[in-house]
A and B are shown apart, each in its own frame.
Chain A
Amino acid sequence: MIEGVHSLVHNESGEEWVLKNQFLPQGFYDIARLLVESASINWEWGFCQGIASELITVNDIIEPTIGVNGYARRTVALIYPTFSMNLAAGERTTFTSTAFSGFIRTAPGWDKEVDRMFFVNKDSQKIVSMSVPMPAFLTTTGVFSATYTARLL
């Protein structure tokens, strides 16, 4: 497995959470499928409580109710330019998303406590990537922006 990083920024204060994650085999499966088929694959980006494992699905996590106090997943197309590849120094390739804004958490907060970010395949509902926990449950309200980067080799 490889490690990636979810970078979450509170737009108003600039407070930032940098959360390492595991990129799960189901994420690689989606990329392999893209190579072979003319598939359209969308991931969704969200917040949860849970523990990463290889074959985890949304049924294995605790996620806020969509529509309650601003909670919504963001749809992320698994295609360039939403994700792009870059070769960094030392022959380490990075897989990087564009910046997404608009994760909204209005007072008094979402209906479930969250300390992780995840990507899920929109069709299969299989989790493809999940972050390590934040130092504490997210309590900040407002609007957040996020980017995702993984190093591949």
Chain B
Amino acid sequence: MSQLNTKAARGEFCVNGEWVPNQLTGQGIQNIFGMALGDVLHEQMQIGLCTGPLIPAFSKVSDPTLLTVPTVGVNGYAQPTIDKGALSWAAYGFVDSEVFVETTLFTFTASGGSFSSPVNRLFLSNGIGALIYKLFAYSQPFVDTPMTIVNGQILRVKYRIWFR
């Protein structure tokens, strides 16, 4: 955490009420600022579940095999979209001298069966489905051992970024 806190911005994911630190990439902060400014180059982000390595290679275009993501469309797995505006972002403000902005709450619900692969991390990307084109943020594990999201199970997640 101390390394993350030295940067101008840091992010964190919330999973069922528990906050999980993350690595926010350079292209992630670029995209979020660009989104705020209405920069034509900004991209919609997706929030997703995955498993992956301890330290991902934050290349500009990530290796799509780097993370294992449940198959979109199988038993209800979908990746909600985050873009500029109140539909995606719910709150902002000061805490002491730090400024935060936080997304709305998104839900992942397995229905009709389990998601196709176990998960223990979250990510932000511009990817569609299982292909991660650009990795914007990547969480630490929210459980040590990847868990299978079984039929009827719900994960409620959101993302928050801090500026300093």
Interface residues of A (CB under 8 A from B): 1-2, 25, 28-29, 31-38, 54, 78-81, 83-87, 90-93, 95, 151-153
How many angstroms from the CA of A61 to the CA of B8 in the assembled complex? 26
List of B residues within 8 angstroms of A83 by Cβ? 37
Residues of B within 8 A of A84 (CB): 34, 37, 39, 41
In whole angstroms, what is the CA distance A134 to B40 when docked? Answer: 35
Task: State whether the Cβ of B90 lies closer than 8 Å to any Cβ in chain A.
Answer: yes
B24 CB contact (under 8 Å) in A29, A80, A153: A153
**Cβ contacts A to B, 25 pairs, < 8 Å:** A1-B164, A2-B8, A25-B94, A25-B97, A31-B33, A32-B93, A32-B100, A34-B36, A35-B36, A35-B84, A35-B92, A36-B85, A37-B86, A78-B37, A79-B38, A81-B39, A84-B39, A86-B30, A87-B60, A93-B29, A93-B33, A151-B8, A152-B29, A153-B8, A153-B29
Contacts of B98 in A (CB 8 A): 25
Q: Is the CB of A38 within 8 A of B37?
A: no
Name the residue on A nearest B24 (C-beta): A153
Q: Is the CB of A31 within 8 A of B38?
A: no
Q: Are A25 and B99 in contact (CB under 8 A)?
A: yes
Nearest B residue to A34, CB-CB? B36
For B38, the chain A residues whose CB sits under 8 A away are: 34, 79-80
Let me know if A85 and B34 touch, CB within 8 A.
yes
Provided the pairs A80-B38, A86-B30, A87-B30 are in contact, do residues A36 and B89 lie with their beta carbons within 8 angstroms?
Answer: yes
Interface centre among B26, B90, B98, B101 (most CB of A within 10 A): B26
Give Cα A93–Cα B93 distance, bound, in whole angstroms.
23
Describe A's contact surface by its main secondary structure: mixed
Q: How far is the CA of A83 from the CA of B42 in the complex (A)?
A: 13
Q: Is the interface of B mostly helix, strand, loop or mixed?
A: mixed
Chain A residues contacting B42 (CB-CB under 8 Å) are 85
B11-43 with Cβ < 8 A to chain A:
24-27, 29-42
The distance in angstroms between the C-alpha atoms of A87 and B34, with both chains bound, is 11
By Cβ-Cβ distance, the 5 closest A-B pairs, closest first, are A91-B26, A28-B163, A32-B92, A32-B101, A28-B99
A38, A86, A153, most chain B CB atoms within 10 A: A153
Give me 9 other A-B pairs in contact (C-beta within 8 A), A28-B99, A85-B33, A87-B60 excluded. A25-B94, A29-B92, A31-B163, A35-B92, A36-B92, A84-B34, A84-B39, A93-B30, A93-B33
A32–B86 Cα distance when bound, in Å, is 12
Q: Is the CB of A35 within 8 A of B101?
A: yes
Q: Are B33 and A87 in contact (CB under 8 A)?
A: no
B89 touches A35 (CB 8 A): yes
Say yes or no for B58: interface residue by CB 8 A criterion.
yes
Interface flags, B62-106, vs A, CB<8A=1, else 0: 000000000000000000000011100111111001111100000
Q: Within 8 Å CB of A33, what residues of B?
A: 92
